[in-house]
Amino acid sequence: MNAFVETSNPARAGLKSPLVMGYEVVIGFETHAQLSTQSKIFSRAAIAFGAEPNTQACPVDLALPGTLPVMNKGAVERAIQFGLAIGAHVAPKSIFARKNYFYPDLPKGYQISQFEIPVVQGGEIAFFLGDQKMSVRLERAHLEEDAGKSLHEDFVGQTGIDLNRAGTPLLEIVTQPDMRSSAEAVAYAKELHKIVTWIGICDGNMQEGSFRCDANVSVRKPGAPFGTRREVKNLNSFKFMQQAIDYEVRWQIEQIEDGHAIQQATVLFNPDTGETRAMRTKEDAADYRYFPDPDLPPLVIADEWVQRVRSEMTELPRVMAQRFVTEFGLSEVDATALTQSRAIAAYFEATAKGCGQPKLASNWIMGEVSRRLNADEVAIDACPVGAVYLAALISRISDGTISNNAAKQVFDKLWSEGRADDKLALSRIDQIIEADGLKQMNDSGELEKIVDDVLAANPKNVEEYKAGNGKALNALVGQIMKGSKGKANPQQVNDLLRQKLG
């Protein structure tokens, strides 16, 4: 790969990098996203994870003499989708090259990849790190085939080769060295994961290796040129990703502080020890003898193809988030959180539209709904309280029938009852409110009596309030709510009190 030449990321202007022991951390990512095609990138063999070894490999995958690669258009289409999703340039003509090296699970003795001219060029990934909006620039994304697997266990001292994975289509997504902390790197990876799964080009399964991240990590004193990087591999969960980078950063800083220079190397993260260990150094780097694959003509993507893909593309998360801001008046942070997956976004939109209270819907989904989903480890698509029920519940808050707290009780009940007929939502919720006596006290005569009683019983608080202690009012409100058994409308209580106390 090309040496990193530092160019400033305009999206980061004015952002201060967090320092670790006085060092700035510089991270770039290479992600291999397995594309969700039915068959392999250059053959017609099927792709299924977990199949018996060597049952998903045809003569082309085995590199039998006389076999030739034929491009799977579905893989190209997914690359185009990705390019459009991240605002990149989709190259009208890109080139497949051979990366030559010997390894038992690489049947042809070369990997077909893209080298000088990749299919997707540029683009950026924007995301929030806390409340801070960040952006990471992509250098490229290119199509390539996966290798098979060497199985070192269960072969009595020998190595088995499983070529089921050989020829699986990958999109390798390469960033610029734009990230400055492990937290930012993880936020980037999560956002990338969200995009590829959102547009459906990758199933995102990190355990099965469908989404594999390698991090290029280096450290430097602020203002210094880039330090020597080490490539950290085997980051197959977001948690490991952060651990591995943090470990690697500390290790590099210690080396430098001890007066050792960092050697360019590829290192493997071991989740059991939480450490990284060098696999190979630059000295072992192979000469891959890249050259254009004479078996494959240049990949030509006509503008009409790009336009068709564009017209068929689903609304992208950042576009949808922007719409939530303008259409529903949400904050950018909330809108981004609600578009973390298509399922959440769909749930939110249905709820917001159903109750006409987008902010309440947003609060509920990011609050009570998420809390319960996380606690019960349920995906939002399987949420026992459907969007129609949540919308009906919220409408009962907004029309003053029940308080927010009472609504939580109703929600709990709906949750334990599980999915039910959407048509019955409102009547069922009203039944619960009725049966559990959760209705707010909207009769002002009854409430007024309670207020008067409380005022009479708490002369001290009244005096303090009148003397200018605002907090005394809270105590009175509390007493009144207690007296109404929680059914009083807090707003009404406030109004009445201010009226009576002048």
Partner 1 sequence: MTNNTPALHDLTVAQLATHLRERKVSAVETAQHFLTRLQANAPLGAFLDLNEEVTLAQARAADAALAAGASGTTAALLGVPIGHKDIFVTKDFVTTAGSKMLIGYRSPFDATVVTNLAQAGVVTLGKLNCDEFAMGSANENSAYGPVQNPWDRTRTPGGSSGGSAAAVAARLVPAATGTDTGGSIRQPASFCGITGIKPTYGRASRYGMVAFASSLDQAGPMARTAEDCALLLSAMCGPDPDRDSTSLEVPVEDFSRSLNESIAGLRIGVPAEFFGEGLAPDVQAAVQAALKEYEKLGAKLVPITLPRTELSIPVYYVIAPAEASSNLSRFDGVKFGHRAEKYTDLIDMYKKTRAEGFGDEVKRRIMIGAYVLSHGYYDAYYLQAQKIRRMIADDFQQAFQVCDVIAGPVAPTVAWTLGGHGNDPLADYLADIFTLPASLAGLPGMSIPVGFGAGHMPVGMQLIGNYLQEAKLLNVAHRFQQATDWHTAKPEGF
108 contributes a contact to partner 1 by CB under 8 A: yes
Q: Is 42 exposed, middle or buried (0-12, 13-18, 19+ CB in 10 A)?
A: buried
CB of residue 83 to partner 1, shortest distance in Å: 22
**CB–CB of 382/419 below 8 Å?**
no
Q: Is 372 exposed, middle or buried (0-12, 13-18, 19+ CB in 10 A)?
A: middle
370 contributes a contact to partner 1 by CB under 8 A: no
Q: With CB under 8 A as the contact rule, which of the stretches 187-195, 283-291, 333-341, 448-456 interacts with partner 1?
A: 283-291
Q: In sequence order, what are the beta bridge partners of 268?
A: 233, 277
Q: With CB under 8 A as the contact rule, which of the stretches 107-115, 359-367, 381-389, 436-444 interacts with partner 1?
A: 107-115
Query: What number of other Cβ atoms are within 10 A of residue 54's Cβ?
Result: 15
Q: With CB under 8 A as the contact rule, which of the stretches 220-228, 243-251, 293-301, 379-387 interacts with partner 1?
A: 293-301
Q: Which residue matches tokens 């409430």? A: 447
Q: Which amino acid is present at 319?
A: V
Residue 458 φ then ψ, to 5°: -125, 60
Element (H, E) at 158: none
Quickly list DSSP for 179-244: B-SHHHHHHHHHHHHHHHHHTTS----TTTTSEEEEEEEEEE-TTSPP---EEEEEE-SHHHHHHH
465 contributes a contact to partner 1 by CB under 8 A: no
Q: How many residues does the chain have?
A: 502
State which of residues 107, 123, 354, 358 lies at the interface with partner 1 (CB under 8 A): 107
289 contributes a contact to partner 1 by CB under 8 A: yes
Q: Toward partner 1, which CB reaches closer, 70 or 224?
A: 70
Residue 307 φ then ψ, to 5°: -65, -40
Q: Toward partner 1, which CB reaches closer, 42 or 348?
A: 42
d(CA 171, CA 188): 17
Pattern 211-240, binding to partner 1, x per CB under 8 A?
------------------------------
137 contributes a contact to partner 1 by CB under 8 A: no
367 contributes a contact to partner 1 by CB under 8 A: no
161 contributes a contact to partner 1 by CB under 8 A: yes
d(CA 366, CA 383): 13
- Report helix angle 387-398 to 425-435, nearest 10: 50
Among positions 24-83, residues that touch partner 1 (CB under 8 A) are: 59, 62-71
165 contributes a contact to partner 1 by CB under 8 A: no
Q: Toward partner 1, which CB reaches closer, 165 or 487?
A: 165
298 contributes a contact to partner 1 by CB under 8 A: no
Q: Which residue matches tokens 């539209």? A: 353
Q: In sequence order, what are the beta bridge partners of 160?
A: 151
**CB–CB of 413/432 below 8 Å?**
yes
Dihedral sign, CA of 185, 186, 189, 194?
Answer: negative
CB of residue 201 to partner 1, shortest distance in Å: 23
- Report helix angle 459-466 to 444-457, nearest 10: 90
Q: Toward partner 1, which CB reaches closer, 107 or 483?
A: 107
Q: How many residues bind partner 1 (CB under 8 A)?
A: 29
169 contributes a contact to partner 1 by CB under 8 A: no
Token reading at 468: 């200018």
State which of residues 23, 29, 82, 110 lies at the interface with partner 1 (CB under 8 A): 110
State which of residues 275, 295, 327, 448 lies at the interface with partner 1 (CB under 8 A): 295
282 contributes a contact to partner 1 by CB under 8 A: no
CB of residue 415 to partner 1, shortest distance in Å: 53
Pattern 424-463, binding to partner 1, x per CB under 8 A?
----------------------------------------
Q: Toward partner 1, which CB reaches closer, 110 or 389?
A: 110
100 contributes a contact to partner 1 by CB under 8 A: yes
Q: Toward partner 1, which CB reaches closer, 297 or 329?
A: 297
Q: Which amino acid is present at 197?
A: T
294 contributes a contact to partner 1 by CB under 8 A: yes
Query: Rule CB under 8 A: which residues touch partner 1?
Result: 59, 62-71, 98, 100, 102, 104, 107-110, 161, 287, 289-291, 293-297
